[in-house]
Amino acid sequence: MTRISKNSLIGVAVVAVLVLGLVWLRWGPDTWKVQITGVTGDGRDVQYRIETVHAGTTDTLIFVNEDAGFTPPYLKFDSARLQSIASRITRECPRQPVTVHGYGLRIPFMDMFPNAVAIDAPERCLGAPSDSGDAKVSMH
């Protein structure tokens, strides 16, 4: 391998690492403080979606809720369970701000939404309607 091609290969590798690092920082994990206003989808024919507004505003943010499979570092396989938790929060505490953990960006012209991976909510919002809010539900 010639010296120029070796240096070029190293340069391309450095640029690739920098680009991947910037993409990770921009599209990587994030948290949002929101109020869940609704849930849609059946997970098969219609994709799961979690409809929210940013806490204390009227700005909407819609999350897709889909399994990431073996895509590192998320390894998400429980979208139906997370959808159930989001649905319970809309019934039990519709005005309660919660923290949604996820990754990705909202890009309207590409029909892209951030993917929710976990929801942190007060225990009283997670209990079944017949409970008095004493249920213990783990969301991670």
Decide: residue 65, CB within 10 A, 0-12 exposed, 13-18 middle, 19+ buried: buried
State pLDDT tens for residues 51-94.
999 998 999 999 999 888 777 667 788 899 999 999 999 999 98
Residue 116 has pLDDT above 70, yes or no: yes
pTM: 0.72
What average pLDDT does the segment 116-123 reach?
93
Residue 138 has pLDDT above 60, yes or no: no
pLDDT at 24: 63
Q: Report the relative pairing of strands 49-54 and 60-64 from DSSP bridges.
A: antiparallel
Give all domains of the chain, ordered by start, each with its CATH number.
Answer: 30-125 (2.40.50.110)
d(Cα 92, Cα 94) in Å, to the nearest integer? 6
pLDDT at 132: 53
Q: Could you give the percent of the chain with pLDDT greater than 90?
A: 36
Residues with Cβ within 8 Å of residue 84, at least 6 apart in sequence: none
